[in-house]
Amino acid sequence: MKQNNPMLGLLDALEQQLQAAELWDSVPPSPEQLASEQPFAIDTLKPEQWLQWVFIPRMKAMLAAGQSLPTGFSMVGYFEQNWQAEARYAEIITLIAQIDQQVA
């Protein structure tokens, strides 16, 4: 994995922002919660849990394995809607928008 990979930098920054906003859990969700087939696991996980336990690890694993990342997806709308009353999450939403731009 290239250390100067822009996506890796964005994922690391996203992780740091989630921790700074105290949205980082020390205990993982149950296997049943993680097995959701719904987009963003909306039926079993909070938005920040999905980022921490599903999105970030999968993207980092793909980068580490030298795999091509998925393209053409957009996540920012989901997070904007969920956190519209949370101005303190603006930096996190900005990072998510930058990730979306990387995979456009």
Spatial CA neighbour of 59 closest among 6, 19, 16: 6
pLDDT tens digits for 32-45? 999 999 999 999 99
**Domain range summary for the chain, segments of one domain joined by +:** 6-23+41-102
The pTM is what?
0.91
Closest CA to 96 of 6, 1, 5, 13: 13
Comparing CA positions, the residue from 82, 88, 92, 102 lying closest to residue 52 is 92
pLDDT tens across 69-97, in order? 999 889 999 999 999 999 999 999 999 99
Q: Is the pLDDT of residue 3 over 70?
A: no
